[in-house]
Structure 1
Amino acid sequence: MSTPAEAEDVGEKRVTWAELYFDLVFVLAITQVSGLLHHHHDATGLVRALVVFVPVYWCWVGTTVQANIRDVDNPRDRLGILLVGLAGLFMALAIPGAYGGRGVLLGAAYWLARVVLLLLLVRIPGVWRGPYGVGVLVSGPLLVAGGLLPDGPRLALWAAAALGDLAAPTVFRRRLAKVAYHPAHMPERFALFLLVALGESIVGIGGTAASARLDAAELAAVAAAFTISASLWWQYFVYAADAMRHAVVTADSRRDVVRRIFQYGHLALVAGVIGVAVGFGETVADPWRALGPGAVALLYGGCALYLLTFGYTRWMMFRQVATTRIGAAAVTLVLLPAVVRLPALVVLVVLAVLLVALNVLEHLRVERTSRAAAAPVPASVPPTAPGA
């Protein structure tokens, strides 16, 4: 991965230092979403956490797209990115009390971020007739209005705002076809955001373990949880990241790849990792305690969502079925009810073994494909034979 000081070639757009500093705000934001889910991880809690997470994520996406399509390495845009970062910090501070007294702060901070982003792009003709305009004219006001309402109506209005934001790239896809995306910058930015989320899984392990006795069972639980986190990292950065970059570089419609694979696909990937991270917080502290359905659903369900998303992205990129990952996700979901009453350590070890086995299987498949591609093709065999 190139750094802000390096690039593969002169024409490749680089991630700027301002963008990397901006990401630090979202380290806190993801931690706050995880904390909200930790305290309420029933079905209602999942919906409430997701509804709060979408505007946080969409604020980051809007800034990333703005930095991708323009040169932001100048004082005006640096200050704009930092101002959006300040708004993101206000959002992060509001999340713990989002369904209490800080709802207006969350909505107002998001609205501020969307107004700043629209102003940064105001020179682009008709920019308000698109996702940035939806943020300023629709979802921002809905979030502020929701913050003034009681809990139930607030959740409904915020859900409508989140759906409006998520639908905007699809509704305005023809207009977005005119946008010239830089292909190398976009995969790198979304990979960095996933790294931020994976960092939260490490916090989920260490934050709990730091106050434990750290006997043999607790250290084993830490090792198993880290193996799970590292396996999730391996699935993306060893097997998927280059394919996603290749897909956006070679796509006939970069707009569709950006929308389907990055904006939507990575929302699911990050949500899955957050679920796993919260599950870690429930397991490491007391390895011999049975977790119960809520914590196991977060841990195994988050992992299954993460793997199933690769099935979605692979189909969208290449119209190919990711059989190994979909199969592993299915096994994870089948195991979920069976491990509910088992000790947390056993739950972690079972999932770690499954993910390691998946990575080994993926490695063997890649090696087999590489050897087949390197082998000479007999003259009698057509180079495009079916099933090759």
Structure 2
Amino acid sequence: MTDRTWLAPMRARSADEPHRASTPLELFFDLCFVVAVSLAAAPLHHNLAEGHVLIALRGFLMVFFAIWWAWMNFTWFASAYDTDDDVYRLTTLVQIAGALVLAAGVDSAFEHSDFTEITIGYVVMRLALVAQWLRAARSDPQRRATALRYATGIAAVQVLWLLRLLLPAESAATVPVFVALVLLELAVPVWAENAPGGPTTFHPRHIAERYGLFTLIVLGESVMAATVAFHDAFDERAEYAAGLTRLAVSGVVIVFALWWIYFDRSAHRLLTSLRTSILWGYGHYFIFGSAAAVGAGLALAVDHVTDHAEISATLTAYAIAVPVAVYLFFVWLLHVRPHQAGPLRFAYPVGVVLVLLTPFVPGSIELIAGVLVLLVALGRRTPDPIT
């Protein structure tokens, strides 16, 4: 038997609630977003292999924003207002359905600059969240102004996203309008959380856990690419086996090190104010996106070793080096830097520079793996000033 009801009051949950963990519904939500992340990484890999670097980057950054922003907004809302009643569950399942529609439109966005399906799926997810915020406004009088600001701001921006579809696919205004709408989306939480009723009551440990789980999802793309390298090393002709084996081993070391660096210290103690929490949450766009892009870079390296890619060895190396460097910089900025003191606090910025220099020398992927292992080792020697 269950005590879950059809429609419960959506009251704010306590920010220091004990034993707060991700729910099965949240885990299912993440699982469905795996599809969207995977489908976004695949055309990034294929377009890079064909030498369409700018098209690959533009498409990936735009598509990944829709995935990340919808996931992030649900996560923070759930941390404050998860009632787990039937209406909440059904509304969340609508958001998941929107994510699947978004995922189905990824190929059209990359190949034809047609964002119709992605926009429809995105708007479905966002309007379902509007319904959740309206429920919160009704049940939480103290933060009613905050919830109504969220509902109003999100709904208004969705109208603008739909109007953007009226632009021709190849219009010069497509990217500037996209950037403007992204800035409006990013502004909504800042505006809403500063309402007279006060900010929402997110749970720091719950948020840190949710972000950690999504980091595992995007790192999964890199795990898959390393697995493909091992598979091909055994199946391809002997002339490719040595190169693929080196790539597979280096790829595994890179993925393991990226995992270690992110999860080495707990992040929940850093979420001490609204400002730091927003910056921490927004900065994860670069962590999540770069982690997924590392997988695409490793897949591209497999194509290059087997002579299936049309770009040079240097550009192939950069397809791994750039996302690794971005990942390192933002993990350092958001997670590592507050825990560091003394000369070792400069290790990560130096590591970023070294990673970006590796494509100019032979064995670049092996060198990237070496730099990451060194950073992991140095991290274990750094005292933690946060108690």
Q: Give the TM bin, normalised by the shorter chain.
A: 0.7 to 0.9
Cα displacement (A) at 1:43? 3.3
TM-score of the two chains, using structure 2 as the length reference: 0.81
Partner amino acid, structure 2, of 1:229: V
Partner residue of 1:231? 257
Cα displacement (A) at 1:272? 1.5
Alignment of 1:255-294 (within 5 A): 255-261=274-280, 263-287=281-305, 291-294=312-315
User: Residues 292, 164 of structure 1: CA spacing in aligned structure 2 closer, same or farther, 3 A cutoff?
Assistant: farther
Q: Could you tell me whether the CA contact under 8 Å between 1:25 and 1:89 is conserved in 2? A: yes
Partner amino acid, structure 2, of 1:136: A
Partner amino acid, structure 2, of 1:28: V
Partner residue of 1:111? 123
Q: Could you tell me whether the CA contact under 8 Å between 1:324 and 1:358 is conserved in 2? A: yes
CA distance in structure 2 between the partners assigned to 1:114 and 1:127 by the alignment = 17
The reply on whether 1:327 has 2:350 as its aligned counterpart is yes
Partner residue of 2:133? 121
Alignment of 1:203-242 (within 5 A): 203-207=224-228, 209-211=230-232, 213=235, 215-238=241-264, 240=265, 242=266
Cα displacement (A) at 1:327? 1.4
Higher relative contact order (CA 8 A, sep 6+): 2
Cα displacement (A) at 1:120? 1.2
Cα displacement (A) at 1:331? 1.4
Q: Could you tell me whether the CA contact under 8 Å between 1:77 and 1:120 is conserved in 2? A: yes
2:24 to 14, 17, 22: 17
Cα displacement (A) at 1:102? 4.9
The reply on whether 1:71 has 2:85 as its aligned counterpart is no
Cα displacement (A) at 1:206? 2.5
Partner residue of 1:156? 176
Cα displacement (A) at 1:293? 4.2
CA distance in structure 2 between the partners assigned to 1:135 and 1:38 by the alignment = 32
Partner amino acid, structure 2, of 1:304: A
Alignment of 1:156-175 (within 5 A): 156-175=176-195
Cα displacement (A) at 1:220? 2.5
The reply on whether 1:302 has 2:323 as its aligned counterpart is yes
Q: Could you tell me whether the CA contact under 8 Å between 1:114 and 1:135 is conserved in 2? A: yes
Q: Could you tell me whether the CA contact under 8 Å between 1:272 and 1:302 is conserved in 2? A: yes
CA distance in structure 1 between the partners assigned to 2:108 and 2:153 by the alignment = 25
CA distance in structure 1 between the partners assigned to 2:178 and 2:376 by the alignment = 38
Q: Write the deviation string for residues 334-363 of structure 1: whole angstroms up to 9, x where unpaired.
A: 334x13xx4xxx222111111111111212
Q: Could you tell me whether the CA contact under 8 Å between 2:257 and 2:373 is conserved in 1? A: yes
Partner residue of 1:31? 38
Q: Could you tell me whether the CA contact under 8 Å between 1:280 and 1:299 is conserved in 2? A: yes
TM-score of the two chains, using structure 1 as the length reference: 0.81
User: Residues 351, 160 of structure 1: CA spacing in aligned structure 2 closer, same or farther, 3 A cutoff?
Assistant: same
Cα displacement (A) at 1:49? 1.5
Gaps of 5+ in 2: 1-15, 138-143
Stretch of structure 1 that moved more, 146-155 or 54-63: 146-155
The alignment-based identity, stated in percent, is 23
SS in 1 for 2:105: helix
CA distance in structure 2 between the partners assigned to 1:189 and 1:133 by the alignment = 26
Runs (4+) of structure 1 moved beyond 6 Å? 318-321
Partner residue of 1:197? 218
Q: Could you tell me whether the CA contact under 8 Å between 1:106 and 1:143 is conserved in 2? A: no
Cα displacement (A) at 1:47? 2.5
1:43 to 30, 50, 54: 54
Partner residue of 2:270? 247
User: Residues 28, 309 of structure 1: CA spacing in aligned structure 2 closer, same or farther, 3 A cutoff?
Assistant: same
Q: Could you tell me whether the CA contact under 8 Å between 1:28 and 1:92 is conserved in 2? A: yes
Partner amino acid, structure 2, of 1:66: F
User: Residues 141, 211 of structure 1: CA spacing in aligned structure 2 closer, same or farther, 3 A cutoff?
Assistant: farther
1:86 to 89, 92, 97: 97
CA distance in structure 2 between the partners assigned to 1:120 and 1:113 by the alignment = 11
Partner residue of 2:201? 180
Q: Could you tell me whether the CA contact under 8 Å between 1:103 and 1:146 is conserved in 2? A: no
Partner amino acid, structure 2, of 1:275: A
The reply on whether 1:361 has 2:381 as its aligned counterpart is no
Q: Could you tell me whether the CA contact under 8 Å between 2:229 and 2:248 is conserved in 1? A: no
Q: Could you tell me whether the CA contact under 8 Å between 1:142 and 1:158 is conserved in 2? A: no
Partner residue of 1:5? none
Cα displacement (A) at 1:319? 9.2
User: Residues 208, 316 of structure 1: CA spacing in aligned structure 2 closer, same or farther, 3 A cutoff?
Assistant: closer
User: Residues 134, 359 of structure 1: CA spacing in aligned structure 2 closer, same or farther, 3 A cutoff?
Assistant: same
Cα displacement (A) at 1:314? 4.8
Q: Could you tell me whether the CA contact under 8 Å between 1:111 and 1:135 is conserved in 2? A: no
Cα displacement (A) at 1:156? 3.3
Partner amino acid, structure 2, of 1:278: A
Aligned length: 346
Partner amino acid, structure 2, of 1:352: A
Q: Could you tell me whether the CA contact under 8 Å between 1:209 and 1:222 is conserved in 2? A: yes
Q: Could you tell me whether the CA contact under 8 Å between 2:317 and 2:365 is conserved in 1? A: no
Cα displacement (A) at 1:286? 4.6
CA distance in structure 2 between the partners assigned to 1:144 and 1:13 by the alignment = 37
CA distance in structure 2 between the partners assigned to 1:259 and 1:10 by the alignment = 21
Q: Could you tell me whether the CA contact under 8 Å between 2:232 and 2:244 is conserved in 1? A: no
Cα displacement (A) at 1:247? 1.7
Partner amino acid, structure 2, of 1:184: R
